Homo-oligomer: A and B are copies of this chain.
Amino acid sequence: MIVVMNADSGDKEIARVISRLEEKGLQGHLSRGMERTVIGVVGQTFPELRDMLELMPGVEEVIPISKPYKLSGREFQPQDSRIKVGEVTIGGGDLVVIAGPCAVETERQVVDTAQAVKAAGASIFRGGAFKPSTSPYHFRGLGEEGLKILAQAREETGLPIITEVLTPQDVELVARYTDMLQVGARNMQNFVLLDEVGKTRKPVLLKRGMSATIQEWLLSAEYILSQGNRQVVLCERGIRTFETYTRNTMDISAIPIIEKLSHLPVIADPSHGTGKWYLVTPLALAAVAAGADGLMIEVHPTPDFALKDGVQSLTFENFEQLMSQVSALASSVGRRIATGAAKM
């Protein structure tokens, strides 16, 4: 932590800052520049220290220099984390494709879609049983009934299942039926939920909040990791900006940045990231080119009759085309699509 003093602060203010640091068992290392004096803080700092110093007379600004996250950082663990979901490994080099409908509607819809996405090369199946919806008047999911339908899709295809959990009370229930828990963008800072999924030993897919910085996203991962669950996969799904043509703005740069800062795998969700089906394939390709460990894609047998987010869902045929384009691109960068459920 570095304390930058005001241009007009004097020796008295500087002495007070140093003495406050010493009270706290820290040391202040003084450095007088031409326009500003700065004080380097030496010792084990604590979160409240920043505000405490910023409010002292003569202090202009306090700049933290350590990263606020630990367990999720590359400094803590230099080698890549590999997360196992059933037989599939995310983060091991192969490209993992998660696909399925936004919402579970009927057994027919779900099983058909699971079979179609498996045939096209997806290795994890997704579907929402509990749906967050901006309006209380929209479809909010089938609940446990939906979880049962998902479990049946797993039985019929062998694909591991991921679904979103909305609230701490449901974690145990959802974990019982599925192989991976999803924490959605709107819950990225639902800290009680993060604690709760952190207490399970299920892999967790943590979506980026729509106005979350990369650092805040890693701090939310830190909540899960610090509860003892080290199986976290990050998912870039677009951020909110002034541009309204797309539902969100996919921040493709976040993919190589996460790779640099963290050992956790990162995948991309171009369906929510763009909100328009015809943009899903170009953005999926972009994410893979930028180094994503996988993709999450919405697929529906008849998007125009979907109960939720049909406008961003691919038909089976479009999904097959996406997979064949992704596969060609992956091989050009020495990678291939994972085939976790191949033995079935």
The residue on B at minimum CB distance from A242 is: B240
Which A-B residue pairs are the 7 nearest by beta carbons?
A332-B332, A211-B211, A31-B40, A289-B289, A286-B286, A285-B289, A51-B310
Bound complex: CA A68 to CA B290 (Å): 34
Bound complex: CA A141 to CA B150 (Å): 38
Q: Which label, helix, strand, loop or mixed, suits the secondary structure of the A interface?
A: mixed
Shortest C-beta distance, A197 to chain B (Å), equals 13
| Extra 10 A-B pairs, beta carbons < 8 Å, given A50-B311, A257-B279, A286-B286 | A32-B42, A47-B137, A48-B139, A56-B304, A134-B189, A136-B191, A136-B226, A167-B192, A169-B192, A285-B290
Q: Which of B42, B56, B190 contacts A34 (CB 8 A)?
A: B42
Contacts of A254 in B (CB 8 A): 243
- Residue numbers of A with Cβ under 8 A of B are 1-2, 4, 7-8, 29, 31-36, 38, 40-44, 47-48, 50-52, 54-56, 61, 63, 65-66, 68-69, 75, 132-140, 166-169, 186-187, 189-194, 210-211, 213-216, 219, 222-223, 226, 239-246, 249-257, 260, 273-274, 277-279, 282-283, 285-291, 303-311, 325, 328-329, 331-333
Bound complex: CA A47 to CA B331 (Å): 41
- Number of chain copies forming the complex: 4
Q: Which of B253, B285, B307, B310 contacts A283 (CB 8 A)?
A: B253
